Amino acid sequence: MRKHSTRAVGRGGFTLVELLVVIGIIALLISILLPALHAAKLRAQSVACSSDVRQIYIAMALFAQDNKGHLPRPYGVGELSSVPQLVKVAAWLQKVAGASGHIDLDDEKGALWKQLRGREGRAKVLMCPGDDGEALAGHPVNINYPRNISYSLNYLIERDVANQPPRLGLVLARVRNPSARILIYEELAPNDSWCIMGLSSDDVPSGRHAQGMRNSYRLDPSKPEYYSKGRGNHCFFDGHVESLTPSELIPPKGKRSYHSPLIAGDPLTW
């Protein structure tokens, strides 16, 4: 008699319970991985930002070498790139009136552009990768000219004389305690490069690179958590970069000042 072979009956697919288990495992893995991925993203942004700040410092140091040691000076709101005298002495300048925070990236429209070449390169270096386009505080905004910079300069670099044409900034070698005084700030929504950190509500240190802080607080300086857990990259006059909390830059009076004095006779910020 001929024997008949048996054939295994294959399953048609997953059951509903099995699918739900798989979906649940995937959701659990995502919930575990997302915070780690977010933290890694913030760390990468901070590292890139620190590199950008360092590049700006190198450009300023090269400028000083070519100009008898003088740094390019910061600009204030309303100082425009259409003024030839300013273009020669200011690191960068506002492009049009009524558009605070939007600098002119065109060639020969900023004293530092010889050292930072190309519009695309300048745009990349001058805008922190963690900058989410925070709104300016108390200054005119033009939607056609959005803020395109994340950094500002110590206001005491400027050494203009009243009723005289604008002139180059402080000689870098004259700065006292260069490793303890900040030259370049990572600022929250800078409206210009004339930074008077700690003396104006418009000049707030960045908290973009916060670790272990709720994301909603990263851009909200009205919250105490912003000052204690937020972080920004700041470059000192000797060229080193530090990641500092806002509370370290705006301490109670009598504590360490990162801002002043730069030379004898300068005011004490705190």
More confident residue, 157 or 215: 157
- The arithmetic mean of pLDDT across residues 243-254, rounded, is 86
Question: Has residue 215 been placed in a domain?
Answer: yes
Residue 21's pLDDT is 79
> Please, which residues bridge with residue 186 across strands?
151
Residue 132's pLDDT is 84
**pLDDT tens, 4-58?**
555 455 556 678 777 887 888 888 777 776 666 667 777 888 999 999 999 999 9
**pLDDT tens, 153-199?**
999 999 998 889 999 999 999 999 999 999 999 999 999 999 999 88
More confident residue, 37 or 230: 230
More confident residue, 58 or 256: 58
Residue 58's pLDDT is 98
- The arithmetic mean of pLDDT across residues 241-249, rounded, is 94
What does the block give as tokens for 114? 């010889």
Residue whose token pair is 């008898």: 68
Question: Has residue 64 been placed in a domain?
Answer: yes
- The arithmetic mean of pLDDT across residues 73-92, rounded, is 96
Question: Has residue 264 been placed in a domain?
Answer: no
* pLDDT at residue 70 tops 60: yes
Question: Has residue 240 been placed in a domain?
Answer: yes
More confident residue, 234 or 226: 234
Question: Has residue 255 been placed in a domain?
Answer: no
Residue 12's pLDDT is 61
pLDDT band at residue 239 using 50, 70 and 90 as cut-offs: very high
Nearest residue to 239 via CA among 179, 177, 155 = 179
Residue 22's pLDDT is 80
pLDDT band at residue 253 using 50, 70 and 90 as cut-offs: low
* pLDDT at residue 242 tops 80: yes
Contact 239, 254 (CB under 8 A): no
* pLDDT at residue 3 tops 60: no
Question: Has residue 103 been placed in a domain?
Answer: yes
* pLDDT at residue 206 tops 60: yes
Nearest residue to 183 via CA among 166, 200, 201, 170 = 170
DSSP for the chain, please give it.
-PPPPP-PPPP-S--HHHHHHHHHHHHHHHHHHHHHHHHHHHHHHHHHHHHHHHHHHHHHHHHHHHTTTBPPBP--TT-BTT-HHHHTTBSS-BSSTT-TT-B--STTSSTTTTTS-SHHHHHHHHS-TT---PPPSSS--BTTB-----EEEEGGG----TTS------BGGG-SSGGGSEEEEEBSS-SSSEE-TTT-TT--B--TT-SSS-GGGTT-TTSHHHHHH--EEEEETTS-EEEE-HHHHSPPTTS--SS--SSTTPPP--
> Whole domain around residue 237: which residue ranges?
34-249
* pLDDT at residue 228 tops 60: yes
Residue 20's pLDDT is 80
**pLDDT tens, 102-147?**
999 999 999 999 999 999 999 999 999 999 888 887 787 889 999 9
What is the total count of domains within the chain?
Answer: 1
Question: Has residue 267 been placed in a domain?
Answer: no
Question: Has residue 75 been placed in a domain?
Answer: yes
Residue 40's pLDDT is 77
Residue 270's pLDDT is 66
